[in-house]
Structure 1
Amino acid sequence: MLRVLLSLVLLVLVAGCAGIPRTGSPAELPTRAADAATVLAPFEDRAALPAQIAGLPLPEGRAFALLVLIPAPAVVDLSDPERARRGLVQFLNPVATYRAGTLMGHTMAGWRCADGAMGLVSKSGDDRNRGLGMVFRGWGLAAFLSEYADGHLIEPAEMSARHHRVLRQGRARILAVEVDEAGCQAVRRALVAYRQHPNRPERVFTMMRDPADLGGDGCAEFALWLIGHSGALGDLPALMRREITLRDSFVGIGSMPRSPLVTPFVAQGAPDPVPLIALMTGDWSQGRALQQIEVLDLELLRLAFDRVAGIAAPVPARLREDDAQARRLREASDRWVTRFARLHPFRHGRQQALVLMRR
């Protein structure tokens, strides 16, 4: 039973979208000689796009960047270690998981250019839950910060059944932001460059690298980096990052993973292993401080979505009012949305989307 519970926790931890299996066998990455049309074709397969994306009422001849968020079942508040621990424990609640329609969150990026090209892509990794083995070997949440060399992009045809179900149930967040055509085409070029880069960043699944360095990334980091080429979100992504103090109460150094596909995160200060019971029930605000890191906070990403959605209908707050980073992002989101002349709520079945238009 403990292994099952920890599996759920780890699915939440590793960049919010680990362990999403491919529907087929992993394909070889395209060669650097492949032309752009060949690289983009599986991501721009209109027939494979979810109906909730393909059916967006986007005016012809105009360009849009798309962001799709499948929320996690509970709030993980990274502004406070103990609140984060209690939030993760909520993922063990089967009622919350059932209501959310998913065991974990996920982020997808998309585009619909003025020339009619439309596509969707996301990233996952650690399909075999090797990070779970690290937790059992005493690494604690270092599994969350480690690198997994089995990363892969997910094409629309490979989208999981549970994510299709979340869209049908109306539990996703969909945002379409009007951009200029040059920005939309820049997104497409960036995806081609990413797939063909000699560093093979697609294969490295981690949240501790800067996607701009093309050395690897996680799913939300990849999605924001990709649509960032369009300029859609302005400076908002920088405010979605949060500094965290790692402590030896929840980050340790355990025995080495058995798989060569795992590069463990080794915190400064050489902490001891973290026993499972201490990780699950201990006070994460206690313990020796090891080092400061900065990560993309998925709750802050959700906050930006909800701030825009709140214009159409009230959205309950998920983070504390006295959270300074959340306050800065709320203020920036309010300023950002004033750039757009129209906010068009759209519903496809039970799923709502928000379309921001310049005119």
Structure 2
Amino acid sequence: MNMHKFLYLLLCLFVPQVWGMTQNIHFSGETMGTTYSVQLDLTNIDVTAEELKRRVELELDKVNQSLSVFNEDSEITRVNRSTSKEPITLSNRLYDVLEISKQVSLQTDGALDITLGPVIEFWGFGVKPRELKQKDRGQLELARSKTGMDGFALGADKLEKIIPSLTINPSAVAKGYGVDRVANVLSEAGVNRYLVEIGGEIVTKGETAEGKSWKVAITRPEKLSLQFQQVVGLNNMAIATSGSYVNYIETAGQTLSHIIDPETGMPIKNTVVSTTVLHPQCAVADGFATAFMVLNLNRSIEIANQLGLAVMLIEKTEQGFKAHFSHAIYPYLLNHSGTQNGV
């Protein structure tokens, strides 16, 4: 899942001096079980910062109301409770997320599977309290029988359950989608220079007041680390990161990742410990970041190159961390002088 991202903005970009005479505004709050923050320039914009924050939080409430599996009254909760095979009419927000998830799943050999709720609950990473005692392979296979991306079909604005008991957890895409929706609110208000972040997922528009790309630092894949692994420059681009180094269970001498392999139903055992994806849509980047945590390193890079995706994978080796890059990410990487490669 992508709920644990540690993308840290280079603070030097956000001090007032950098923006000169522009109206640099910042506001933040809580959403989706984490925090959000917005940096924007309101020069020549008629809407006030207070009004924009109100609009942003209203949109985030709508996203939560559609996508939160922790909300008993949310749209996705109602869909999950239904055992009917009759088509269910969906909001645009939920439909968008399910459509993106379907597409990313198809493009990654099924590595993204948002129907794994029963398996996630089995391993103790879901809504219910963690309890791994007295669980066996038979119970795992029973949970797996209730999953599968082919267990639901989309048509027009409707969802049809092929597996009546199917449940859907869109968390792997939800935060990225929330970022996209906030960006849409700002763009509709005429804001042309901003950075939006939710739980580490980021989208940018325009350049800084200095005419440069927004600098975003990706930390090393270690719990609570503040050391930078790589810095990238973003302009009209989103970034999402997924990792297996924060959310895990230690039991019976084993460390179990919260990321589940749909093919086996088991927590992943992968040398890749962090994946970062750049894409114009944060929801799409979010989905691919999760999928590439499931696939092995070579297959992930192969898919990224085939699709032209800008991707960085960090592998944990006996010698330490090693970064691997797709072809498309190189123009975004910042070198030691602070300029972008190939720019």
Output the TM-score relative to the length of structure 1: 0.21
Specify which structure has the higher proportion of strand: 2
Specify which structure has the higher proportion of helix: 1
> Larger relative CO (CA 8 A, sep 6+): 1 or 2?
1
Output the TM-score relative to the length of structure 2: 0.22
